[in-house]
Amino acid sequence: MIAVFGCNNPQHKPALTTSTPEPVVYRGLYSFGPEVKSFKDCKTGQEFWAADSSAKLELGYSQMNFEKPYEPVYVEVEGRKVKSGADGAASEFDSTMVVTKVVKMTRDIPKDMCN
């Protein structure tokens, strides 16, 4: 006969770990048109292809009713940077900004943040 006993200390709980990193907020200029969807990081000046997984970036831009495409707007977005693929328009950029959430979008470009 084998008996197994165990103890449980309800005051000692293991720390919860997540494999998903905290979202990063990027501030920059977004331009949209028939050929290009780009994001220019205000902090680094680096330009990225913009992939809108939030489905809000392109929608918000189109609702601003610009007369011409490619007019830049200031955005604050949550997202992640990934290596661009080898095919398509995104291949012209080293990296792609995958936008997961639009925090802010405005025509007013802050002069002290984005030049």
Single pTM value for the model: 0.77
pLDDT at 112: 83
Q: Which residues contact 82 (CB under 8 A, 6 or more apart)?
A: 95, 96, 98
The parent domain of residue 64 ranges over 25-106
Contact 96, 46 (CB under 8 A): no
Query: How many domains, in total, are found in the chain?
Result: 1
- Is residue 58 situated within a structural domain? yes
pLDDT at 1: 56
- Is residue 88 situated within a structural domain? yes
- Is residue 13 situated within a structural domain? no
Query: For 21-45, how does the pLDDT look when each residue is reduced to its tens digit (9 = 90+)?
Result: 677 999 999 999 998 999 999 999 9
- Is residue 94 situated within a structural domain? yes
Contact 82, 96 (CB under 8 A): yes
Burial 69-104 (b: 16+ CB within 10 A, else e): eeebbbbbbbbebeebeeeeebeebebbbbbbebee
- Is residue 81 situated within a structural domain? yes
Domain containing residue 53: CATH number: 2.40.50.540
- Is residue 5 situated within a structural domain? no
